[in-house]
Structure 1
Amino acid sequence: MEWTRGEWRVTTDIASFDFDVIHRYLSEVAYWSPGVARETVERAARHSLAFGLFEGARQIGYARMITDTATFAYLADVFVLPERQGAGLGKWMIECVMAHPDLQGLRRMMLVTSDAHGLYSRFGFRASAHPERIMEKTGARSA
């Protein structure tokens, strides 16, 4: 799928993704994935519904939904390069993600963020009504 707005484009065509840009951001800039291996980034994208944000031919953003496309989705690895932030592109990219046909009618979508609550609340995300029900198991970070 593809959405366009002026010179910007959001696409799910993973063949067009620039994994150098994605890996560099996730491994060096993102607080949630320092040192993540490039192989891990690519494998995660290939096993998710991934979205690339482009300015012309240059990749400037990324997001992925980990989903069964029937009942559940988890939004992860969302970013817009720092030099392109502040122009509403992150909001537009999430609008595109939320509009994807495979993500309609799901019972639950989740995400974890430490700093973007305002962005995601625009799309209906909120703090869990029952945080006591949420559990997690963390593993070793792959580097």
Structure 2
Amino acid sequence: MSTDLPDGYEISADPDRLDPAVIHEWLSKDAYWAMGRSREKQDAAIANSLNFGVYDSSTGAQLGYARVVTDQATFAWLCDVYVARNGRGKGLGHALVNAVCEHLEPYGLRRVLLVTADAHAIYAKSGFAALEKPEKWMTRGAQ
């Protein structure tokens, strides 16, 4: 799925390969944006999104995850991007984001949005940039 993926790893959008228990463990305990998220809430998010997993080719173990909320026509929100601690430093996060973007390209989306507090450089390598006119954007709910 992604040409910049290191040897020995694979990325898949097959929902049957996801390990929801592992994803919940990662996000609810180690991801600042999802701390404390219930398993029920995470399972609902997975069920209603386009999901991607990074896997060790030899063992099949899941090492990363990304979720996209999209109408597959005009807009997508890339969220819950996570690489397990034992998979970090190998370029898996960058490859995962690129694979997601490649997967979304045929939809001809006008905009793919994401929010990050600390990974701007990783996303910039994949073509993401700060909002040109943030004063146009509004939010409702937690910030």
TM above 0.5: yes
Identical-residue share of aligned pairs (%): 41
Q: AA paired with 1:135?
A: M
3-state DSSP of counterpart to 1:100? helix
User: 1:100 Cα shift?
Assistant: 0.6
What residue number does 1:91 align with? 94
What residue number does 1:34 align with? 35
What residue number does 1:6 align with? 7
Counterparts of 2:48 and 2:105, CA distance in 1: 14
Counterparts of 1:48 and 1:35, CA distance in 2: 20
Conserved 8 A contact 1:62-1:78:
yes
User: 1:84 Cα shift?
Assistant: 1.1
Q: AA paired with 1:46?
A: A
Conserved 8 A contact 1:60-1:84:
yes
Counterparts of 1:19 and 1:46, CA distance in 2: 10
Q: AA paired with 2:26?
A: Y
Conserved 8 A contact 1:73-1:108:
yes
Structure that is richer in strand per residue: 1
User: 1:103 Cα shift?
Assistant: 5.4
CA RMSD of aligned residues (A): 1.7
Structure 2 gap segments, 5+ residues each: none
| Equivalent of residue 73 in structure 1, options 72, 76, 95 | 76
Structure 1 gap segments, 5+ residues each: none
With the length of structure 2 as denominator, give the TM-score of the two structures. 0.89
What residue number does 1:137 align with? 140
Q: AA paired with 2:69?
A: I
Q: AA paired with 2:27?
A: L
